[in-house]
């Protein structure tokens, strides 16, 4: 899809509104990086996932996403052979706890 078509469809504005609704920095980054898809199979799968998520929200309410922070900086530090301080370890523990709560919700 060319840039003029994306502008006519207000795709940049849609991405901006979606990013504003994101609950995390990582979610905002993903929303801002979205690009239109031309593959009908991929689009159909994404629509199915969206419908499934909407039905889950309607049935069970808002998922427990607290603690699900972006750990990419910490992981990068570990990959470089770094050592984590206690606050970083606590952030990882909070993330793991958040993952468990989210899994239980689903």
Residue 40 CB coordination number (10 Å): 8
Beta-sheet strands, E only, within the chain: none
How much is the pLDDT for 43? 94
What would the pLDDT profile of 2-24 be if each residue is shown by its tens digit? 889 999 999 999 999 999 998 78
Across 18-37, average pLDDT: 90
What is the domain partition of the chain in residue ranges?
1-36
How does residue 104 score in pLDDT terms, banded at 50, 70 and 90? confident
Q: Which 8-state DSSP code applies to residue 92?
A: H
Q: State both tokens at 9.
A: 């469809």
How much is the pLDDT for 82? 94
What is the pTM (predicted TM-score) of this model? 0.63
How far, in Å, CA of 53 to CA of 60, rounded?
A: 10
What does residue 45 show for φ and ψ, rounded to 5 degrees? -65, -40
Average pLDDT over the chain, rounded to an integer: 90
């Amino acid at each position: 899809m060319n840039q003029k078509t994306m502008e006519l469809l207000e795709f940049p504005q849609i991405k901006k509104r979606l990013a504003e609704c994101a609950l995390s920095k990582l979610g905002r980054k993903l929303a801002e990086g979205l690009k239109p898809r031309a593959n009908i199979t991929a689009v159909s799968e994404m629509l199915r996932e969206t419908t499934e998520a909407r039905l889950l929200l309607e049935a069970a309410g808002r998922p427990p996403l607290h603690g699900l922070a972006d750990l990419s900086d910490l992981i990068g530090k570990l990959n470089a052979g770094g050592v984590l301080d206690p606050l970083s370890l606590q952030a990882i523990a909070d993330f793991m706890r958040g993952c468990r709560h989210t899994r239980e919700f689903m």
